[in-house]
Chains A and B, each alone.
Chain A
């Protein structure tokens, strides 16, 4: 290669490398600023998957049943999806329900995270017991993740959180909420 051509080639390759480094630097800075400023890990994850951004949670939810009085429980039947309650309530993964979040729900359930039911009334209920079994890292609870179920349960409300003691799972419809094509698989993509 002639000297001038060689110099031009080196300059060209250097500029390509510099562009790549700038892009990576920009992405690192963007990600770090989003994460560390608390602007939303969920936002950055959704940005990364390139899929549709899920809607934010409603400002208020109204339970389908009249809540029990303080210090008491109420027997109810409710239909909803078995969820990883931390991801759903916190919104940290963007989506906390459906097939797009199923793998994450398995990870969290195995890690001892709280299992819940996202009721059809919009309320996230925390499960304290399921058919006599304690819920943490329970094989039954892990196996039910993302399934749509109808349960008979005792409902408690205490200090801003809804809890259920599930007496019986009346119906299990399997995985119904198929949202992976719309929102992608979170986190880390497919």
Chain B
């Protein structure tokens, strides 16, 4: 029975994060303060926007990014459509450019963030699933993006393995 539960939990998570993004807009997740959102905005480096500490190409993928809409609002772009992965791989190619994003805004503990599920570069453009992290990870590890290894990237990722070997899955190993 435990195996069945484990399978169901994984299958449910995989379904939520791997569901074809063009099947319907902004899949709800029931997260804190959830609001479905379709936003048009420019991809910006948050540190540059608020701290005036700017770097070439929005920090080349090492800095937190946001969508800045026409009304000058910043939407902190935090989560992609790949399980356990952020959005930088998707957005960095659009630094300083405008995109249309479809996803969810979540808010709690005094902060809010944007989960982008799909995006396009023009009103008439094709929706692109926000899964660039998996594509890049697969390329770096010599596997296909749709392979099980890439879908479960966190199980074999060398950074993850090193961190968990160092401090354990509870973080308590000194």
Contact = CB atoms under 8 A, between A and B. Distances in A.
Interface of A: 24, 27-28, 31-32, 34-45, 48, 56-58, 61, 63, 73, 85-86, 88-92, 99-100, 102-104, 106-114, 116, 118, 122-126, 128-129, 134-139, 142-143, 145-147, 154, 156, 158-163, 165, 175, 178, 180, 185, 187-190
Given A90-B106, A103-B164, A113 B85 contact: yes
A111 B109 contact: no
Given A39-B30, A102-B169, A88 B112 contact: no
B158 to A, nearest CB: 9
A188 to B, nearest CB: 6
Interface residues of B, number: 65
Q: Do most interface residues of chain B lie in helix, strand or loop, or is the interface mixed?
A: mixed
Nearest to B49: A158
Given A123-B109, A158-B50, A103 B115 contact: no
A32 B109 CA distance: 28
A161 B108 CA distance: 10
Contacts, number: 228
Contacts of A187: 9, 13
A86 B108 CA distance: 10
B28 A111 contact: no
Nearest to B168: A102
Interface string B44-69: 00110111010000010111100000
Nearest to A44: B12
18 contacts: A24-B4, A28-B8, A31-B9, A31-B11, A41-B29, A85-B78, A86-B86, A86-B115, A110-B84, A110-B159, A111-B82, A114-B113, A128-B64, A145-B171, A146-B171, A160-B107, A161-B113, A180-B170
